[in-house]
Amino acid sequence: MQGRLKELMATLPQQGAVRWIGVRPARGAPMKELERVVALTDRHLDGDRYQGRSGSKRQVTLIQAEHLPAIAGMLGRADVEPALLRRNLLISGLNLLALKDRSFRIGDALLEYTGLCHPCSTMETTFGPGGYNAVRGHGGITARILEGGEITIGSAVAAQPA
């Protein structure tokens, strides 16, 4: 059965799409929403305060668009703006957890899944009591930039062959 499970996990024909792009210009500063951004090889997204060192596992953060309504529901809100979650890329149409142990292309850039992106205590300040727990399990993933390139709103997100 393990062979079948491995085969299922390697099968990811769906493609996602970038729905929102944001960078953090300074610590604690509001996110800056962009139409396009350049991913810099093995570093960070151009304009983001996070200046990841070479080999860092947290060069880009991604969150799944389909999780925003779940977070909003747990907070008793009609919706949650992606900028409030402080992730770089909002992706729809693709289960980001299915990218585990894989590389994937977003626009012209090639990224590699490096781990889960857990919420921080800022979520309590942003959303009030319970904000941290509302985001738990829905915080997205982190990635390393293997090949730089341009990412735009609408760019396809596709796993590379396993």
Task: Sketch the domain layout of the chain as residue ranges.
Answer: 15-159
Q: pLDDT value at position 1?
A: 59
Rounded Cα gap, residues 52 and 49, in angstroms: 9
Other CB atoms closer than 10 Å to residue 133's CB: what's the count?
14
Residue bearing tokens 């009030």: 128
Low-confidence ranges of the chain (pLDDT < 70): 1, 52, 162
pTM, two decimals, is 0.93
Fold type of domain 15-159: M1 Pyruvate Kinase; Domain 3 (2.40.33)
Q: pLDDT value at position 3?
A: 81
Q: pLDDT value at position 105?
A: 98
Residue bearing tokens 């929102």: 20
